[in-house]
């Protein structure tokens, strides 16, 4: 059991260790505890080493000793002899300085004291607390080996141990007791000097001991429950990886995960000792088990990671083709300038390599010198800053077919290099660094949606980081309205006829009130394109919403329902001139998003106040077809045409009263609207006449179980912050899907079933004619068998409709109870873009609409 620096720094944490060790003893195991130095002590010892004056060194040693005295005080323990001796040694070493031992050997000796002291202290505490614990000097067990490439520095400060099973050590310990404590990070070399194991050294020590003793397992106790499918700081929805093999774990550790140093897995591989990562504060969580065993399961991507700060060097030459030794010459230059190559891609006339960020790369002229040398033999291009996005999983090549949707995402980006590792464990894309922060969470979602990351396999994938550690508490605590409260009524409605849409107005009101809690927002418009049912329009008008329409038809529908006093917004796109003529005859505020209307119909707008929709140059959203920003999208005025637009407005006496941008739909990151808001505000400051900013909608509604909902409190905070900086502008929003998606369901009945190869198809009486989102956007809708909600989900179905299209699939690979003809199936989250996008295709009867007040 290994415990890191923060785990050994305070009394409560030691009490925690005591409990954990005692619980392992209770299971009958003999325990060896490996500890790091108290947090901060190793750094303090390094600073002591860098100090030239003996007086200051002694002072530093005293300060370090005081840390240990303080902790002993808290433990109400007397100074144990073992620790006293160590403190004495440290004081002596600090006083003497490096002269006697030699600089590096002295440094190693000094720095080793962090662990020697913490372990001595721990032995005293555990023994005193009723758990007799033997102190073991790690240097008597771990013998460092000399390697051909080592210099004196690496030999002493970054050493390696060959950890072969050592039955003699086992026998020696068996004679001494049941519980031991020893030091991480240190070993001894053949001349008897103390050496250090370098970065990640304590984890590596634990692994060496595991191998030497052929332990039942090695447990690394740390501040997080294990390895995740992505860095939780970048992807809060990342899932805990409960089971990995050594190679996968090593690959994940090498490509970004910080929880474990990649070095510490190799000693365990041959003796097949499993390693378990556990959270010290949450021992009840399962953690990650890394072992030899590859259980039979579907191949899956295990993790996605990103490393930033990558520099690429691309070398182009016709001279290299079939020329012996060209690459050797090229790589010799990298070695000469101290640059270590990571990824390599080669073609007949080009070799491109990647360099990881190092101080040498950033602050010396190494790159300039390298490029000068290389320029003599080839054309060189230095490409940076890049990021390497890596998918890790065993058998990556056999997973490629599942990745098509994921790969499509790279279509919009500059991909500088693709590398598929020769061990078939990873697939790496090198892209521009700036896209990574938004891309990574998105790719993680896509991997799940594409079935490449099989989070449905609960043996491999645990809960999300958000669920385990997120501030908002576990999402999905409130059961959907249809699951219990209204289930019976829905079954009765379905018995009358199907297919039919059912809308639950209390849910619409609940969502509306959530948005009304956004204090910074001055006016909320319901984007009626999501659902124009009169009952929904009436409910939202009653909640005080204004309305956003995109066509004369919508204006007419809204005009017929809502009171005269309710403000309207008309935001069409590529609309004919007549639409503007019509809209200008209503009370609606008109939005323009191109030069054309002012260029060609300018006088139509004379004396009017309009809103300008701009394109801030990039898009966001859950699918390419719902992204509405960036040159690839038809919406908005590009910023480089803004000056011309303003001139045209001036010419025609048109006042730009509002600025609008809307980047996409299904966005779950609160920071997004803050960015749009700030960018609009800084544009507005240059226009003068602007009084309000419309930051659009696109508020995401999570569709997958366990996905975190949009954090409204965080959105409120972000918007308030921007508002405080730009108080002169009113803030408008125009949400659509957020208000109505969860309020609607589509009811259908089972028609037929079919088995085909490994697939089982479950037919229902409506499909893409009623709900086109799965076919159009790959949208994921939860599907349940409402007739058998309480039965075990044992079948794996492809849920399909009756339309003559291969794409008429509502859900793939759904775990559902065995179904019968006539069962009522419910498709959730169908309140937005359901009925309004339905069609008569195949001349199938339309779904009707029912409202639950």
Partner 1 sequence: MALEKVLVSNMIQPRLTQLFRFVRCSYADGVAELAYAFDDGEELVERVRFPNAPVVPATHAAAFEAALKLLHLIAGVSYYKAGVPPKIEVASGPLDDATAELLDQLYLHGLAEFAYRNGLDLRGRIVFPRGAAAQPLAPAAGLPKRTLVPIGGGKDSLVAVEAIKSIGGEATAVWVGSSALIAACAERTGLPTLNIQRELAPGLFELNRLGAWNGHIPVTAVNSAILAVAAILYGYDSIAFANERSASAATLEYDGQQVNHQWSKGYAFEQLLGNWLHTHVASDLDYCSLLRPYSELAITRAFAKLTPYFDVFSSCNRNFKLLGPKPADRWCGQCPKCHFVFLALAPFLPKPRLLSIFGRNLLDDENQASGFDALLEYQDHKPFECVGEGAEARAAMYALSQRPEWQEDALVARFHSEILPQLDASQLALEPWLEPSAEHHVPARLQPALATIG
Least distance CB 385 / partner 1 (angstroms): 5
Tokens of 44: 């303090």
Under the binding rule (CB under 8 A), the answer on residue 380 touching partner 1 is yes
Least distance CB 614 / partner 1 (angstroms): 13
Listed residue (389, 391, 369, 230) closest to 313, CA to CA: 369
Pairing of strands 275-279, 218-222: parallel
Contacts of 822 by beta carbon, 8 Å cutoff, 6+ apart: 749, 750, 787
Contact window for partner 1 (CB under 8 A) among 96-104, 239-247, 398-406, 724-732? 724-732
Q: What is the helix (H) or strand (E) element at residue 49, kind and residue range?
A: helix 41-50
Under the binding rule (CB under 8 A), the answer on residue 651 touching partner 1 is no
Q: Are 118 and 8 contacting, i.e. CB atoms less than 8 angstroms apart?
A: yes
Least distance CB 729 / partner 1 (angstroms): 9
Residues between 457 and 486 with contacts to partner 1, criterion CB under 8 A: none
Least distance CB 566 / partner 1 (angstroms): 13
Q: What are residue 611's phi and psi, to 5 degrees?
A: -110, 140
Contacts of 698 by beta carbon, 8 Å cutoff, 6+ apart: 620, 621, 662, 663, 664, 665, 666, 667, 672, 735
Least distance CB 622 / partner 1 (angstroms): 22
Q: How far apart are CA 672 and CA 710, in angstroms?
A: 11
Tokens of 54: 């003996």
Q: Which residue is listed with tokens 């590529």?
A: 574
Residues between 257 and 316 with contacts to partner 1, criterion CB under 8 A: 309, 311, 314
Under the binding rule (CB under 8 A), the answer on residue 19 touching partner 1 is no
Q: Are 275 and 218 contacting, i.e. CB atoms less than 8 angstroms apart?
A: yes
Least distance CB 331 / partner 1 (angstroms): 17
Under the binding rule (CB under 8 A), the answer on residue 183 touching partner 1 is no
Tokens of 553: 């038809």
| Contacting residue, 284, 348, 363, 853, with partner 1 by CB under 8 A | 363
Contact window for partner 1 (CB under 8 A) among 280-288, 429-437, 489-497, 813-821? 429-437
Under the binding rule (CB under 8 A), the answer on residue 143 touching partner 1 is no
| Contacting residue, 79, 408, 474, 519, with partner 1 by CB under 8 A | 519
Residues between 691 and 710 with contacts to partner 1, criterion CB under 8 A: 691
Under the binding rule (CB under 8 A), the answer on residue 689 touching partner 1 is yes
Under the binding rule (CB under 8 A), the answer on residue 544 touching partner 1 is yes
Contact window for partner 1 (CB under 8 A) among 15-23, 176-184, 430-438, 696-704? 430-438
| Contacting residue, 62, 269, 510, 523, with partner 1 by CB under 8 A | 523
Under the binding rule (CB under 8 A), the answer on residue 688 touching partner 1 is yes
Q: Which residues pair with 750 in a beta bridge?
A: 764
Tokens of 517: 């809690």
Least distance CB 683 / partner 1 (angstroms): 9
Contact window for partner 1 (CB under 8 A) among 97-105, 361-369, 448-456, 763-771? 361-369
Least distance CB 807 / partner 1 (angstroms): 36
Residue closer to partner 1 (CB basis): 384 or 584: 384
Q: Is the dihedral of CA 462, 463, 464, 465 positive or negative?
A: negative
Least distance CB 304 / partner 1 (angstroms): 19
With H, G, I as helix, E, B as strand and everything else as coil, classify residue 507: helix
Q: Is the dihedral of CA 786, 788, 790, 794 positive or negative?
A: negative
Contact window for partner 1 (CB under 8 A) among 105-113, 194-202, 363-371, 838-846? 363-371
Residue closer to partner 1 (CB basis): 654 or 762: 654
Contact window for partner 1 (CB under 8 A) among 7-15, 31-39, 378-386, 734-742? 378-386
Residue closer to partner 1 (CB basis): 74 or 513: 513
Listed residue (58, 269, 42, 266) closest to 157, CA to CA: 42
Residues between 339 and 358 with contacts to partner 1, criterion CB under 8 A: 357
Listed residue (131, 121, 210) closest to 169, CA to CA: 210
Fill in the per-residue mask, 727 to 766: x = in contact with partner 1 (CB under 8 A), - = not in contact.
-x-x------------------------------------
| Contacting residue, 682, 752, 820, 839, with partner 1 by CB under 8 A | 682
> How many CB atoms neighbour CB 321 within 10 A?
10
Least distance CB 367 / partner 1 (angstroms): 5
Contacts of 258 by beta carbon, 8 Å cutoff, 6+ apart: none
With contacts defined by CB under 8 A, how many residues of the chain interact with partner 1?
57
Under the binding rule (CB under 8 A), the answer on residue 712 touching partner 1 is no
| Contacting residue, 138, 220, 353, 366, with partner 1 by CB under 8 A | 366
Under the binding rule (CB under 8 A), the answer on residue 43 touching partner 1 is no
Residue closer to partner 1 (CB basis): 365 or 457: 365
Contact window for partner 1 (CB under 8 A) among 194-202, 364-372, 622-630, 791-799? 364-372
Q: How far apart are CA 681 and CA 730, in angstroms?
A: 10
Contacts of 658 by beta carbon, 8 Å cutoff, 6+ apart: 589, 591, 610, 611, 612, 690, 691, 692, 693, 694, 732
Q: Are 227 and 238 contacting, i.e. CB atoms less than 8 angstroms apart?
A: no
| Contacting residue, 43, 140, 162, 721, with partner 1 by CB under 8 A | 721
With H, G, I as helix, E, B as strand and everything else as coil, classify residue 93: helix
Residue closer to partner 1 (CB basis): 194 or 679: 679
C-alpha torsion angle, residues 349, 350, 351, 354 (rounded to 10): 180
Residue closer to partner 1 (CB basis): 103 or 433: 433
Under the binding rule (CB under 8 A), the answer on residue 542 touching partner 1 is no
Contacts of 691 by beta carbon, 8 Å cutoff, 6+ apart: 657, 658, 729, 730
Q: How many CA atoms lie within 13 A of 765 on its CB side?
A: 19
Q: Are 219 and 132 contacting, i.e. CB atoms less than 8 angstroms apart?
A: no
Contact window for partner 1 (CB under 8 A) among 59-67, 73-81, 106-114, 427-435? 427-435
Contact window for partner 1 (CB under 8 A) among 19-27, 130-138, 324-332, 517-525? 517-525
> How many CB atoms neighbour CB 490 within 10 A?
23
Q: How far apart are CA 664 and CA 408, in angstroms?
A: 18
Under the binding rule (CB under 8 A), the answer on residue 722 touching partner 1 is yes
Give the CA distances from residue 674 to residues 466, 522, 677, 696, in Å, rounded to whole numbers and listed in that order. Answer: 22, 15, 5, 12
Q: How far apart are CA 331 and CA 325, in angstroms?
A: 10
Under the binding rule (CB under 8 A), the answer on residue 336 touching partner 1 is no
Under the binding rule (CB under 8 A), the answer on residue 383 touching partner 1 is yes
Under the binding rule (CB under 8 A), the answer on residue 632 touching partner 1 is no
Q: What is the helix (H) or strand (E) element at residue 655, kind and residue range?
A: strand 655-660
Residue closer to partner 1 (CB basis): 378 or 824: 378
Under the binding rule (CB under 8 A), the answer on residue 375 touching partner 1 is yes
DSSP 471: T
Q: How far apart are CA 683 and CA 660, in angstroms?
A: 11
Alpha helices in 138-223 (DSSP H): 152-157, 167-176, 201-212
Residue closer to partner 1 (CB basis): 182 or 352: 352
Q: Are 119 and 183 contacting, i.e. CB atoms less than 8 angstroms apart?
A: yes
Which of the residues are catalytic? 804
Fill in the per-residue mask, 799 to 818: x = in contact with partner 1 (CB under 8 A), - = not in contact.
--------------------
Under the binding rule (CB under 8 A), the answer on residue 726 touching partner 1 is yes
Q: How far apart are CA 520 and CA 718, in angstroms?
A: 9
| Contacting residue, 330, 399, 521, 746, with partner 1 by CB under 8 A | 521
Site of interaction with partner 1 (CB under 8 A): 309, 311, 314, 357, 361-368, 370-372, 374-375, 379-385, 432-434, 437, 516, 518-524, 544, 639, 655, 657, 671, 674, 678-679, 681-682, 686-689, 691, 721-722, 725-726, 728, 730
């Amino acid at each position: 059991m290994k415990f890191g620096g923060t785990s050994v720094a305070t009394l409560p944490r030691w009490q925690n260790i005591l409990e954990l060790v005692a619980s392992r003893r209770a299971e009958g195991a003999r325990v060896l505890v490996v500890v790091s130095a108290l947090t901060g002590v190793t750094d303090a010892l390094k600073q002591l080493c860098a100090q030239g004056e003996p007086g200051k060194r002694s002072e530093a040693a005293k300060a370090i000793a005081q840390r240990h005295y303080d902790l002993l005080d808290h433990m109400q323990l007397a100074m144990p002899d073992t620790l006293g001796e160590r403190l004495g040694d440290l004081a002596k070493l600090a006083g003497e300085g490096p002269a006697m031992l030699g600089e590096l050997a002295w440094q190693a000796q000094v720095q080793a004291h962090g662990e020697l002291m913490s372990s001595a202290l721990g032995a005293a505490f555990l023994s005193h607390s009723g758990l007799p614990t033997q102190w073991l000097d790690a240097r008597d067990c771990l013998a460092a080996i000399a390697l051909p490439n080592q210099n004196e520095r690496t030999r002493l400060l970054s050493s390696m141990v060959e950890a072969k099973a050592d039955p003699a050590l086992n026998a020696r310990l068996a004679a001494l007791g049941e519980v031991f404590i020893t030091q991480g990070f240190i070993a001894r070399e053949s001349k008897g000097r103390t050496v250090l194991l370098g970065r990640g050294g304590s984890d590596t020590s634990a692994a060496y001991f595991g191998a030497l003793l052929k332990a039942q397992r090695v447990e690394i106790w740390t501040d997080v429950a294990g390895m995740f499918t992505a860095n939780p700081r970048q992807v809060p929805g990342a899932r805990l990886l409960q089971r990995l093999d050594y190679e996968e774990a090593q690959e994940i550790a090498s490509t970004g995960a910080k929880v474990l140093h990649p070095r510490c897995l190799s000693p365990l591989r041959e003796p097949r000792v499993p390693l378990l990562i556990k959270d010290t504060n949450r021992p009840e969580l399962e953690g990650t088990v890394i072992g030899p065993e590859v259980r039979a399961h579907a191949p899956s991507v295990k993790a996605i990671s990103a490393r930033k700060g990558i520099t690429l060097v691309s070398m182009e030459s016709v001279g290299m083709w079939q020329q012996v030794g060209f690459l050797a010459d090229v790589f010799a230059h990298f070695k000469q300038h101290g640059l270590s190559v990571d990824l390599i891609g080669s073609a007949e006339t080009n070799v491109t390599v990647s360099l990881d960020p190092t101080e040498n790369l950033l602050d010396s002229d190494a790159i300039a010198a390298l490029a000068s040398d290389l320029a003599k033999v080839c054309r060189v291009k230095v490409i940076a800053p890049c990021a390497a996005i890596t998918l890790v999983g065993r058998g990556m090549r056999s997973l490629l077919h599942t990745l098509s949707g994921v790969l499509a995402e790279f279509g919009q980006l500059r991909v500088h290099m693709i590398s598929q590792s020769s061990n078939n464990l990873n697939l790496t894309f090198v892209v521009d660094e700036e896209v990574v922060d938004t891309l990574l969470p998105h790719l993680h979602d896509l991997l799940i949606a594409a079935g490449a990351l099989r989070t449905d396999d609960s043996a491999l994938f645990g809960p999300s980081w958000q669920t385990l550690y997120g501030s908002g508490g576990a999402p999905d605590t409130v059961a959907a309205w249809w699951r219990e409260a209204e289930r019976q009524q829905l079954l009765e409605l379905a018995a009358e006829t199907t297919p039919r849409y059912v809308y639950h107005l209390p849910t619409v009101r609940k969502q509306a009130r959530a948005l009304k809690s956004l204090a910074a927002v001055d006016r909320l418009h319901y984007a009626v394109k999501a659902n124009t049912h009169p009952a929904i329009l009436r409910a939202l008008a009653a909640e005080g919403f204004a309305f956003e329409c995109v066509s004369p038809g919508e204006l007419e529908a809204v005009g017929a329902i809502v009171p005269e006093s309710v403000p309207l917004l008309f935001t069409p796109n590529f609309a004919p001139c007549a639409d503007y003529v019509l809209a200008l005859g209503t009370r609606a505020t008109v939005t323009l998003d191109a030069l054309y209307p002012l260029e060609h119909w300018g006088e139509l707008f004379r004396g009017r106040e309009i809103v300008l929709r701009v394109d801030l140059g990039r898009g966001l959203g859950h699918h390419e077809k719902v992204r509405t920003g960036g040159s690839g999208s038809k919406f908005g005025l590009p910023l480089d045409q803004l000056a011309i637009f303003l001139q045209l407005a001036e010419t025609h006496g048109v006042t730009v009263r509002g600025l609008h941008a809307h980047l996409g739909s299904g966005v779950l990151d609160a920071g997004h609207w803050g960015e749009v808001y700030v960018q609009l505000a800084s544009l507005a400051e240059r226009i003068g006449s602007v009084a309000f900013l419309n930051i659009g909608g696109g508020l995401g509604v999570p569709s997958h179980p366990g996905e975190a909902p949009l954090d409204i409190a965080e959105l409120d905070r972000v918007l308030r912050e921007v508002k405080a900086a730009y108080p002169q502008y009113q803030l408008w929003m125009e949400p659509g899907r957020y208000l109505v998606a969860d309020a609607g369901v589509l009811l259908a009945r089972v028609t037929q079933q079919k088995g085909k190869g490994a697939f089982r198809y479950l037919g229902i009486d409506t499909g893409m004619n009623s709900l086109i989102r799965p076919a159009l956007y790959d949208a994921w809708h939860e599907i349940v068998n409402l007739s058998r909600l309480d039965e075990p989900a044992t079948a794996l179905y492809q849920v399909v409709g009756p339309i003559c299209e291969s794409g008429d699939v509502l859900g793939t690979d759904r775990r559902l109870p065995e179904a019968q003809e006539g069962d009522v199936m419910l498709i959730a989250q169908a309140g937005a873009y359901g009925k309004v996008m339905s069609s008569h295709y195949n001349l199938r009867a339309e779904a009707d609409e029912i409202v639950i007040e």
